Structure formats: C-alpha cells, structure tokens
Amino acid sequence: MYKCYYRAIIALSILFTSILVNNNSYGSAYYSNIERFSVSHGLPDSTIYSIQKDKTGFIWLGTPKGLTRFDGDKFNVYSSKSHQGITLQRDGASNIFIDSKQQFWVGTWAKGLALYDPTLKLIKNFQHNDNDPTSLCSDRVQSFFEDSQGTLWLGTSNGLCRYNKKLQTFSSFINNKENNHSLSHNRVWKIVEARGGILWVATSSGLNKMLLNKPGYFTQYTYDKNDPNSIFHPQVRTLLVDKKNTLWIGTESGFGRYNEDEDNFTFITSKQRQLNVPITHLALGKFNDIWVATHQGLYRYLPNKNKFSFLKNKNIQIFSHDDIRDMIIEKNGVIWIATRFAGLLKINYSTNSFNLINQYTTKSGSKAKFHHVTAFLEDHKNVLWISTDEGLLFRKKNHKTFNLFKTINTMGPYRAESLVEDDKQQIWVAGGAGLFVIDPLRSKITNMNHLIKKFKNKGIKNLLYDNKQQLWCISYFEGLAKITTTTTTYYQHDENDFTSIASNELIDIIEDQAGQIWVATDTNGVDKIDQNIQFFVHYPLTSNSSTNSEQINTIYQSHNNKFYVGTKNGLYVLNPVSDSFDLVQGHVNFQNNNIKSIIEDEVENLWLTTSAGISFYKQEQYSLNFDKKDGIPSSNFLNRAALKLNNNNLLFGADNGITILNSTIQQQTKEEGNTIITAVTVDQKPLEQYQFLPRKPLILNYQTNTIKINFAYLNYNKTTTSHFQYYLKNYDSNKYQTIKSGAITYNNLPSGKYEFFVVGTDTFKSINYQQPKLVFIIQSPWWKLWWLQIIVISLSILLVALIVKIRTNRLAKQKLHLEIIVKKRSDELLETQKQLVNSEKNIALSSLVTGVAHEINTPIGIGVTAASHIVETIDELLETYNNKTITHKNFKHRAGKIKQGADIVLRNLTRAADLISSFKLISVDQSSEEQRQFNVLEYLNNILTSISPKLKKQLIIIDVNCPENISVVGYPGAFAQIITNLILNAALHAFENIDDKKISIVMSYRDDWLRMRICDNGNGIKKERLPQIFDPFYTTKRGQGGSGLGLHIVQNIVTQKFKGEIECSSKLGEGCCFHLKLLLPQAS
C-alpha cells in the first residue's frame, strides 16, 4: 500500500525565481508543497491525458492503461484487465468526464465512447456509424462539456456532438465550406460557456461562438496574419471563462483574451519572453489568477498586473518532462497536474509568504518602528513577546500592533536576549542587565539577580526552562547556572576535569525530546549534561578547516530527532555513529554559510537565517535560498532569533524588525476531509462496486469468513499521516478504536446486521459518528432463515392446532354431555335452594303468624271477658228497671261498670287491629316484588311490632335511632325481610347466657344510599367463622331451629335487590355488628 505523502515529495519549493510579481500585487514570493506521483506509487502509466474530481472527493485520471482513481493514499486502476473488482469495457481512457449526475464518460482516441453509472456499471457503448446520423460523430473523442441546461457536448475529430439523454442519440455540427455560419473546423479541442447562453468552441481552424437557443448557427473567428486584432493562431487548443466573463484563449503558439466590447483579440506577452508555446490547458486559480499549462511547463498569469511567473523545469526538477495535458484547481488552492511521461503532480500553492513587521504603539499612542529583534516568546495566552532596542514589546492574540511593556528603569539601557515562561505563567527575561521576572498578571517586572549572585558579570545570554521546572541560565563568560526552587547550581569549565563543561563561553542551550540538556559552546563543540552524575559528554564538530574550531551560533533538534548546529561556516548535523557533528554538504548549497538561527515548519522542513537571507532545507535532499530580490524584507538576521507560532507561522528576528513566513497550511481553506469506503473484499474476492452506500446494504452469505474494508480520508491538504477512528455497530464494544492503516478486517462474524462507521482525521481525537459508511447483512444459515423458521413454526402450529381441534371436539362433546348433566343437577339444586329459601320465608312467616296469633288472643280474650261482664251488668240493670227497683245510685253504679267494660273492649280490640294491620302490611310486602314509596322509620316500627312477640319471650330490648323524614322508593318487603332475618338471627344465636339483651338499630341517609348498622351485645362470633357466615346452609344451631340460609338470603337481597353491600364485624364476647349500605332513591 502506498505509505504516505512524503515518499511522493520530489520538491518542496519556496520560490521559482524566473519572474516575480512586484510587492503591490499578490506578494513578492510564493511557495508550494510539490508532490509527484509516478508508476512506482501505483500509477498504471506515466502519461495522464485528463483529470477529474467527483463530488465524493476522489481524483480520477484518464490513462492509456485504464481509468484510475486516487484517494490520496492509493491508486485503483479500472480496465478490462482490472483486478479491483470492477471490469471496464476498454483499457484506454484518453479523455474522461464526470457529469452532474456523477456518471462517467470515458472517451478514447479511435475506439469510441463508454458511459458508466456512479458505480462504474456500463450504461451504454457509443461508436460512430456512417449509416446512422444519430450515432457518435467520431470515435475520436477530444473533450466534454455540460452546459447550464444540463446538456452534454462532445468535441471530436469530426465535429461538435450534442447528446440527447432521453433517446441516447447524438446530433452533429460539422464544417460546411459553403456555409460561413457552420463550424469552422471539424476537429474540436475545447468547449466552454459564457454568460447569456453563449457556447464557445475551439477548433483546429479558429474559434466559434454559438447561442444555445440557436444550435448550429456559428460566428467564426479565424486567424488573419494581416489583422493584429484577429485571433493570434489558427489552432485554438483550450478556452477559459473567468468570473468576470472574460474569455481566455490558448492556441498552438500563444495565450490571449477575447475583448467582448471590441469583438477582437489581444495576444498577451511578457517582458522576458513571449508565450509562443502550445497551450494545453487554462485554469482559474484561487486568487483569480490564471494558470497556463503548456508543452513546456506551467505558467501563472496575473490579469490585473499583466505579469507572468514561470513554474517550469529549470533549476529544480518540478517535472521530469514539461508536457502538461490537463489540470484542476481546487477551492483551497491545491493544483493537480496531469502530464505526459511525468505522472501526476500536486502543488499546494500559497502567496504573500514573506512580510515585514516593525511597528509598535508608543506611550503617546503614535506609531514608531522597532529594531534589532533578539528574542521571541509566545505565552500560554498566545501573547507574542519580543525584545527590541526600544524595549520589551508584546502583542495580544488577534491584535495587529505591538505595545511597549514597562521595563524602563528596571533593565536600564540593556535589551533582553532571551525570554521563557515557566509553569507558574511567569516570564523570565535575561539580558545584559541580568535576570528578571514578569509576574503572571503582567503588571510588574522584578530583578532576580540574587539568584545568580556568583556570576560577577550579571549578563545572561540565554535561558531554558525544562520539563523538571528548572531554570537554566547561560552567562556571557562564566558558564552555566541551574536554578531550582531551593538552590542554584553552577557549572564551569575546569581544565583538570575532562567531565566538566567544555567552555565558560556558552552560546545556546536546548532540551531534547528525552529531557536531556544540550549546551553549545562558542568554539568548543557541544556538551550534553548527565544531570544524575553531573557529567558532561562532549560532541566535537568535524570540519574541513585546519583549525577544527567552528564558531557556533545556535543548536536545534528537529522532530525526526536530528541535532543541528549552525555555525559561521555552515550547518552541522550529529552523526550518531561517530558521536560528532558533521558538516552538511554535497546535496545542499546555502547562499551564505553563516547560519544564525534554525527553525522547523509544520511539514518538518528546516528554515535557516543567514547573513544573506533565508535558506530552506529539505532534510537530506536539497536547499533553496532567498534574499531581498526574492522578497525577503530583511538581510541582517540575528542569532537564535527564530520562533514557530501556534498557527505555524515562522518568525525571524532581524535588525529592521520581524520577518514573518506565513504557513502554507494556514493559508489553505480549512476543510474537513471526506472519509470514503474504497473497497470491500469478501473472502479475498473484491466486490464489484467502488461506492458503498449505507442506504443499500450489502447482503453476504452465512458462510462468509473474512470481510476486509478499505477506506480513505480524502483530505489532500493534510500534512501528516491520516488516522482513522472506526466502530462496527453490533460487534465492537469500544466505539473509538483508532488505527493508522486504511483497512480493517473482520473474521467469522455471526449472522446479523452490521453498521460500519469510520472517520478520518489528522489528529487523535474523539469523533461523533454521523452516519454509517457501510451497512452489510450476513445472512443466517438456511435452517435459521426467518421465512423457513416461520414456515416450520406455522406448520407446527397447524399440526398442534389440528391435534388441539380433534381433542377439543372430543372434549366439547364430553363437555356438552357434562353440561347437560350439570344443568340438570344445577336446576334441581336451584329448585331445591328456591324451595329452601321459600321454606325459610314460610318458616319465618309461620313464626310471625304464630307470634301474632298469640299476641291477638290476649286482647281478644280480655275483650270477650269485658263484653261478658258488660252483658251481665246490662241484664242486671234491665232487671231492676223492669222491677222498677232501679235507683239513681244503682243506675249510676251499673252505667259506670258498663263504660269501664266498653273501654277495655275498645282498647284491646284496637290493639288487636293494630297487630293485624302490621302483620297484613308486612306479610303482603314480603309476598310482593313491587316497589313503592315508604317512610323508613314508620315501616321499621311496623316490622318491629310484627316481630315483637318473638322478642318479648327473650326480653330483648330494641333501640332505634333513625331520622323521621327518610322517605324512599324501594322494595319494602325485601327491606322487612333484611330487618326481620338480622334481628331474629341475633335472637337465635347472640344471647345465650346473656341477661341484659339489647339490639341497636342506627340508620342514616345520604345521596340515595341508606346506611344501616344493626348491633347486639351478645356473645359475638369467632374470627375464623366470620368469612363463612354468609355461606348457604352455614349454621351453628343445626337441629335447634337454624337452617343456615338466613344471612345468605340477607346478602342476596342486599347485593341484588338494593345493589348494596353488607359486612359483619365481631369480636368474641363483645357482640356483633352488621353494616349495610342499600340503594334506596329518595321519594319525590
């Protein structure tokens, strides 16, 4: 697999010094990250005819050996011999085009045209047929264009073709020598559209203009050597319409534009040379500049300045061959170039590379210039601090100007030479006046020379704050000091101790990636400090000079762990074999060997300041040099004055201010790359599609053993190796697994549905997955297929249902037979129960009749006796009257006896009548099922009167508490039976061995509900018997007059007749209470 971008980097060039635009245009210099991809990187051929980019982000190339897709890491080739899982009809792909529907048009030279859908499935082959005027105009397809109406136009060797989507046919427009408004020549090179529906067609003999609403009617523009305003060459190879609707023209020997107002042409030249080479392609750049591709390299043209820059095969090998065939320019400035014989090139283009910053705001608010920038620091808040002749300056984040920090009268006339920030956010400042510190609030600066009191000369040249929170100070001539929170340790040269520091005159100090301290001396090489045993390891500089003493300016460690030393005579690099620094030579040629500072950019290239300018060093490959003529605003750079900011811009300190080199990456458009599934291989067999969409799941056989998923991060701006975070839903437990390779393999996945999420990134970070990139389903074995399981389950259910039905029919017959028997028995039982209930009612009524009869006999007997006495008295009175012996006294005496007897008769007859009336009312109501209106209290008294004979025998006292005004509508007979049964039940069961027998009746009425509580003070009921008292035939007096149906009848009447409730509460020895709730609507 293609490893990464860096193998493909042939050059990272900063300036192509042919012709530079002036400072007032886009910038005095530009630099580009140039990468070349060849056959060794996976291209099928070194010649690329055409290049396209689809909406997904893939780069597509038309080559002699097939259609090729590039994802930033790998080339996939599709042809008739493809092994990528997709086979095309033909090998060659001369000119390719991707239309608005993402369909692929693959044109060939002499083999016709093929149309493929977005998954590279063939839609149709088109070839020219002399006998069919609707066929393809020619089998030699030169170019494609889709106009604003969605119509596809083709340029061929035999005219202009228009494609009919519905009919899949072509209309041809060819040259007719007798018609001046026909196409000027049949070989069509390029087609573009301008505003107003104007179609421009470039041919081998002039330029043609046609309105889309007037197809076939052309205005011809041909070459006339006698007319300087005519088109400047007969063969027009390429066209471009820019954002201003200007038409730019590339011909066989030049470049120019069409002037719409004058309806003529301007041939564009440069002061250095004319562009009289074949122009193969024109493209609009990021900055509205025009890139001109030719047979002899690449040119950049600035229309508003009429200036050219040449980017061609000269001092640096940009192209191994200068024949450019096609190019595309992305919005972020990335340029893709298809060449003949030189493969694919990618250029990250930038402008305004070098700029000068040298102004600050004074105390009075005016602007002034600063000079001699000797030190830089970017603190934790991204505030930039610099040391200058004018003092210590600072610039806040996102601010444009520097301000002066108050250091006057503290550091005196000396400027700072080093700035560092510690873990407490203090800034340490060192210089000729010694050591100082700025507090975290940046409100004051304090002299800290007491920490280095053993240094006689307080001048400090450089500072380092290491990972162990130790501050290292390099003095001018007195060695090294290490400051901790408690002590200061001094290191000085001792001639008698070879393990001591090599010299007291030190230049620079760094901490390497392993946390070890390196110190550069003035002329005695470099020392590494072993802090554990206070031991210095010496690393000399190996040079070609006889003195073997190089004056060191700076020391630097790169990200790839290489140590560099900049000296007055060149650049040195540490040789890990000999443990010495060797001079970098042979493959580099610095403009000046006095290396003053070294810094590394975001793509790990070194930038060196020298006495002559700035040099760029691609490690172990080549170097480039830049000075004032290249746009460098400074030349006298200062030692160790270089810094890379957090935004990747590079700063260099000079005598006239700061030279800033803007980051390539920072200038590019910030775009997130698109992560794409590039291939799926099942059991080592690639699937026949190159796009895998989540809306169309892949269906895989249950015997699938291995699934390999390839993916790519389509971010061509990346400067580091991509990482991928992936997650297979329903399988992976960890949702954020990270890998560097663009492939993952799963083995022996169980049956089920899986969703594969993957996101590419340039850094390790947690990512929220938006949607799956691939959905696939591994089918279950045939015996686990859902439809088969449904069939088996259904058949099983049917079989069980059949068995159940047979069994049910048999049981139904048995049930029917049993139901007949049960019904017969039930009817008999119900009849028996009814008879028992009626018997119980009759027994109660008989008992009532007996009591009433006994009760009536007494008053009637008294009445009879009294009447007999009256008769005797009357007989005596009549006898005295007849004998005329009656006296007044005698008459009065006998009349009084008669009256007394009559009163007795009347009183007893009245009582008998009342008893009969109550009995009649109660007995009639009990035998009637009709509702009627009755007063509850009056009716209750009648009931009590009718049963009073039973109660008198047992001396039971009835206490009634009932409002007089309760008048309801209901069943009085049923009500009477409830009262009668409950009171007689109490009389029968409650008062055994009880002398003071009492029954209380309490009634209340609310919302049509009569609530009644009937309580006795008898013996009570055992707790375990309470649940059974309403059961039929349950009695404790069987054989003593109890049938066991009394309370059962009461419960039925309460719940059925009155839709009410009845409960019983009792404690043994404390009596019994029945609580009733009867629905009795209030009488109107």
Q: What is the CATH number of the domain that holds 741?
A: 2.60.40.10
Instruction: State whether 596 and 663 are in the same domain.
Output: yes
Instruction: State whether 938 and 1059 are in the same domain.
Output: yes
Asked whether residue 103 is domain-assigned, the answer is no
Q: Which residue, 934, 355, 413, is CA-closest to 649?
A: 355
Instruction: State whether 614 and 697 are in the same domain.
Output: no
Burial degree of 87 (CB within 10 A; 0-12, 13-18, 19+): middle
What pLDDT, on a 0 to 100 scale, did the predictor assign at position 1017?
A: 92
**Nearest-10 Cα torsion for 97, 99, 101, 105:** -40
Q: Which of 644, 667, 690 is the last residue of a domain?
A: 667
Q: Which H or E run contains 434?
A: strand 434-438
CATH for 450: 2.130.10.10
pTM for the model = 0.58
Instruction: State whether 576 and 725 are in the same domain.
Output: no
Domain range holding 778? 674-782
Q: Which of 755, 782, 809 is the last residue of a domain?
A: 782
At 738-759, the pLDDT tens digits run: 887 889 999 999 999 999 988 8
CA distance 91 to 68: 11
CA distance 1064 to 1069: 15
Instruction: State whether 633 and 706 are in the same domain.
Output: no
Asked whether residue 205 is domain-assigned, the answer is no
Instruction: State whether 473 and 614 are in the same domain.
Output: yes
Alpha carbon 215 to its chain centroid, in Å, reads 50
Asked whether residue 590 is domain-assigned, the answer is yes
**Number of domains present in the structure of the chain:** 3
CATH for 1046: 3.30.565.10
Residues facing residue 207 across a β-bridge: 202, 221
Q: Quick check: 175 and 187 in contact, CB under 8 A?
A: no
Asked whether residue 1052 is domain-assigned, the answer is yes
Instruction: State whether 654 and 688 are in the same domain.
Output: no
Asked whether residue 326 is domain-assigned, the answer is no
CA distance 931 to 43: 107
Pull the structure tokens for residue 751. 């049956």
Instruction: State whether 498 and 604 are in the same domain.
Output: yes
**Nearest-10 Cα torsion for 1079, 1080, 1082, 1084:** 130
Instruction: State whether 578 and 472 are in the same domain.
Output: yes
Asked whether residue 887 is domain-assigned, the answer is no
Instruction: State whether 551 and 660 are in the same domain.
Output: yes
Instruction: State whether 627 and 715 are in the same domain.
Output: no
| β-sheet with 752-761: strand ranges across | 698-700, 774-778, 752-761, 723-729, 737-739
Q: How many CA atoms lie within 13 A of 239 on its CB side?
A: 29
Instruction: State whether 497 and 519 are in the same domain.
Output: yes
**What b/e sequence results for 876-915 when a residue is b if at least 16 CB atoms lie within 10 Å of its CB, and e otherwise?**
ebeeeeeeeebeeeeeeebeebeeebeebbeebbebbeeb
Q: Which of 638, 667, 696 is the last residue of a domain?
A: 667
Asked whether residue 317 is domain-assigned, the answer is no
* 10-residue averages of pLDDT along the chain (1084 residues): 35 32 34 77 93 92 92 85 69 90 92 91 94 95 96 97 96 95 97 96 97 96 92 94 95 92 87 70 90 87 82 51 85 87 82 80 91 95 94 91 79 84 96 92 92 91 94 94 94 91 93 93 90 82 62 93 92 88 78 90 86 84 74 87 91 94 57 78 81 74 91 72 82 80 91 89 55 85 78 88 87 85 77 62 56 64 75 81 81 80 73 61 56 89 82 86 92 87 87 89 93 93 87 71 74 89 91 93 85
What pLDDT, on a 0 to 100 scale, did the predictor assign at position 85?
A: 61
Q: Which residues are CB-neighbours of 994 under 8 A, at least 6 positions away?
A: 1017, 1018, 1019
Asked whether residue 41 is domain-assigned, the answer is no
